[in-house]
Structure 1
Amino acid sequence: MNVPPISRYSVPALADLPDDLREKIVAVQDKAGFVPNIFLALAHRPDEFRAFFAYHDALLLRASSLTKGEKEMIIVATSGVNRCLYCVVAHGAILRVVEKKPLLADQLATNPAKADLTPRQHAMIDFALKVCSEAQDVGEADFTALREHGFNDEDIWDIGAITALFALSNRMANLISLRPNDEFFLLGRVPKTKA
């Protein structure tokens, strides 16, 4: 079977990358057991790789009242709207693993209104979807609705910034025809069996 390329652009060999990129990719490989294709594809332009992952890490790894799962919910729901196969599949896998809910990612990617979420999470996703598709209409009423669910202004910034970062990521992934790793498709769908 012929495996299609991971990107329409050339992907550098790991050995040819600058040390800092190679170290970051190897660290991810050690943790995940494979290299997510986004790392190899963005390595096509090392300076942009550094900038993207610096913002990604500053936003997604910072202390926040949003859980890791909630951050992934935002990514999956908005990536579904943006029809980004890579981000829906990759972040859907992360969401399934983190939340231990094998159905949630598919629900969020196809119809977030029907997803098994708490009222607080529905408010968060509704806001993220508005930022995703109608950011020009975001106003004080949207902030008020989120505050009523316990979100503060820093949380609201996080929701909007995650949505915005993945709007960039979704569009680049679609532009370069970024193929999801096969490993992502099954992660978190079936419970691990105990040895």
Structure 2
Amino acid sequence: MSDRYPLADLNALPDDIKRQILAVQEKAGFIPNVFLALARRPAEWRAFFAYHDALMEPESAGRTSHLTKGDREMIVVATSSANRCLYCVVAHGALLRIYEKKPLVTDQVATNYRKADISARQRAMLDFAMKVSQHPQELDEADFAPLHAHGFDDEDIWDIAAIAAFFGLSNRMASFSNMMPNAEFYLMGRVPREKKAG
């Protein structure tokens, strides 16, 4: 992590943010660095994670979507790779491996999604997400047709674009502040979890 922008002290944070971070720690077994890195500005932390959750967990906002959790993480990994964001590729790559139940998929998508072991539907989704991320000024009506052909509706397409755009922000914040991925992320989803006895 950056000496210029060190991680926030959990115990010095406002109670609402501290509670949410502790809930993440309880679920994950560790605190992902992004939560403490952005907590240095509590108002921005709240806004960032409210939008993050609305996009990545639409059911929590009362919305239905045709994008799976794996689809959403795949968009993050592909676009974050194009933006060369180490933190987001590693952290969201772990989630992608878990949701897709494919230990190799993250490395493939992060390196060259066009050669990855993904469906034609996911390939069309990533083609669109990458264009939003890298060349949004070139988007036109023709870019929507392949998505419609694979069963995405206009609200799904909004989700694809919004995830690509939101993580463009996240990538840039992580990169400029030298936010480093937690070591725990690297192995998640690569090997089977040990079964608990009993």
Whether these two folds match at TM > 0.5 is: yes
> For 1:37-186, what aligned pairs fall within 5 Å after superposition?
37-62=33-58, 63-186=64-187
What is the aligned partner in structure 1 of residue 13 from structure 2? 17
Task: State the aligned residue count.
Answer: 191
Structure 1 distance, partners of 2:81, 2:182, is 17
Contact 1:8 1:178 in 2 (8 A): no
Farther-moved stretch of structure 1 (185-194 vs 15-24) = 185-194
Structure 2 distance, partners of 1:103, 1:7, is 34
Residue 29 of structure 1 pairs with residue 25 of structure 2: yes
Contact 2:7 2:33 in 1 (8 A): no
| Matched letter for residue 58 of structure 1 | A
Q: CA RMSD in A?
A: 1.1
| Matched-pair identity in % | 63
Q: Which stretches in structure 1 are left out of the alignment for 5+ residues?
A: none
**Deviation of 1:6 (Å):** 6.0
Change (3 A) 1:7 1:84: farther
Contact 1:79 1:167 in 2 (8 A): yes
**Deviation of 1:11 (Å):** 2.2
Change (3 A) 1:138 1:7: farther
Please report the TM-score for the alignment, with normalisation by the length of structure 2: 0.94
**Deviation of 1:90 (Å):** 0.2
Structure 2 distance, partners of 1:83, 1:134, is 16
Secondary structure of 1:111 counterpart: helix
